[in-house]
Amino acid sequence: ARSDIDHFSYQDTKYECQRRTPLNHHNKKFTEAFEILEKHASYIDREHGESRALAFRKASCALKSYPREITRIDEISKITHVGEHSLRVITDILENGYSEEVQDIISCEMFHVIELFTGIYGCGPSTAHKWYSLGHRTTQDIKDNAEILNLNVQQKYGVEFYDDLNAPVDMPDALRIQRLVVEQLDLIQPSCSAEIVGGFGRGKQCGHDIDILISHPEEDKVEGLLVKLVNRLTTLGCMLHTALSVGKNVVRKETFVKTKATQTRSTMDNLDRCFAIMKVEKSATDNDSCNSWIARRVDLIITPSSQYAFSLLGWIGSKQFNRSLRLYAWKEMKIHLNSHGMWDHKLTPPKRILATDEEEIFKALHLDFVERKDRNC
């Protein structure tokens, strides 16, 4: 067996942020199988689910980065993150054209019902399991039993607009929302920027929601902006549901003090933010129903200019790219990185490192710049 990893330009590293992960890659037949295994692990295996799901995700990321189609098992058997279990799955697909383990999952009713229920806005795996164990199988079952199940507000909207919210959002929809947001911002506070981030920012043609990052060149001009914006959009009748999180951005100049909230939800930030379900005008091609609008999930995030580069990097994603970047920053550089900024903990007290664009952040971390389209891990 070959011990050297030469595979053209593949860089074998434990951090996804050190290599390119494009949207269109050469190993979809394997990564699609891993996505099912990942979901199955997080839905079904309550005890070790998260770590098993992460292992499949990392194997999948490695294959997405691999610069050509894998045709022999020995070419990837030494790659970091492609463990024994993943190798078995790849071998099955190479030898038989499919993985029996994946086929078993696909033919399992429970898997499909949990998948269906977790597709309801506001429903996670544990709620999905509860509903399943009570004998429910369809979204109609949940709708019919809304009272008994004591659905929270999000879940009520999730069921009500299930079809709309599960129809993929496309770029024209995203642009329509961005335009509306920009128009309203101009009336409240001229010169604001509103950038489409999330999956669309990485070149995806469709996604599950629209993420918009809002800022202003002057630091304090964003204070109170979110409430004003949401109020205007509500008055215009564009908001079906909103959940605001405002005023938690407590970054001090020198150090970032981790609060309980930031410790437990380490990937989330404390930027002013509104999760919304908005009414979006349908395009001319969507004439298949009587409604002139469709419900869409929209995230509006506000960031002051001094934090812009960090918020942009964080909200462009992907989640796995962020996770690896933050882990790399901490483990290799003793730098704490999040959507607010970065702090060098090699110094006491930790020193804030400033950056005005994404390139400067990569440079400070001694990393080659990874284009947004190559952060699709």
Q: Which of residues 306-325 bind ligand DCP (CB under 6 A)?
A: 314-315, 317-319, 322
| Secondary structure (3-state) at 4 | coil
List, in sequence order, every residue forming a beta bridge with 343; answer none if it has no partner. Answer: 336, 352
**Count of residues of this chain found to bind Mg ion when the rule CB under 5 A is applied:** 5
Q: Which of residues 71-90 bind Mg ion (CB under 5 A)?
A: none
298 lies in the site for ligand DCP, by CB under 6 A = no
What's the CA gap between 316 and 321, in Å, rounded?
9
Q: According to CB under 6 A, which one of 9, 51, 205, 267 is a site residue for ligand DCP?
A: 267
Determine which one of 12, 92, 141, 299 is catalytic: 299
CA dihedral 371→206→35→277, nearest 10 degrees, is 110
Is 357 known to be catalytic? Answer: no
Which residue stretch of 28-36, 134-142, 202-210, 242-250 sits at the interface with ligand DCP (rule: CB under 6 A)?
202-210
Residue nearest to ligand DCP (CB): 317
268 lies in the site for ligand DCP, by CB under 6 A = yes
Residue nearest to Mg ion (CB): 198
121 lies in the site for ligand DCP, by CB under 6 A = no
199 lies in the site for ligand DCP, by CB under 6 A = yes
Nearest residue to 377 via CA among 80, 69, 64, 81: 64
What's the CA gap between 166 and 331, in Å, rounded?
38
195 lies in the site for Mg ion, by CB under 5 A = no
Shortest distance, position 198 Cβ to ligand DCP, whole Å: 3
160 lies in the site for Mg ion, by CB under 5 A = no
Compute CA distances 161 → 98, 128, 154, 270, whole Å.
35, 17, 11, 28
List, in sequence order, every residue forming a beta bridge with 336; answer none if it has no partner. Answer: 343
State the binding partner of 333 from ligand DCP, Mg ion, none, CB within 5 to 8 A by kind: none
Nearest residue to 345 via CA among 256, 225, 247: 256
List, in sequence order, every residue forming a beta bridge with 236; answer none if it has no partner. Answer: none
207 lies in the site for ligand DCP, by CB under 6 A = yes
User: Which one, 96 or 267, has the nearer CB to ligand DCP?
Assistant: 267
Cα dihedral across residues 80, 84, 85, 91: positive or negative: positive
Determine which one of 211, 272, 286, 344 is catalytic: 211
164 lies in the site for Mg ion, by CB under 5 A = no
List, in sequence order, every residue forming a beta bridge with 295; answer none if it has no partner. Answer: 279
DSSP codes, 279-348:
EEEPPTT--SSS-SEEEEEEEEEE--GGGHHHHHHHHH--HHHHHHHHHHHHHHH-EEE-SS-EEETTSS
173 lies in the site for Mg ion, by CB under 5 A = no
Residues making contact with ligand DCP (CB under 6 A): 198-199, 204, 207-209, 211, 267-268, 314-315, 317-319, 322
Residues making contact with Mg ion (CB under 5 A): 198-199, 207, 209, 211
Catalytic machinery residues: 209, 211, 299
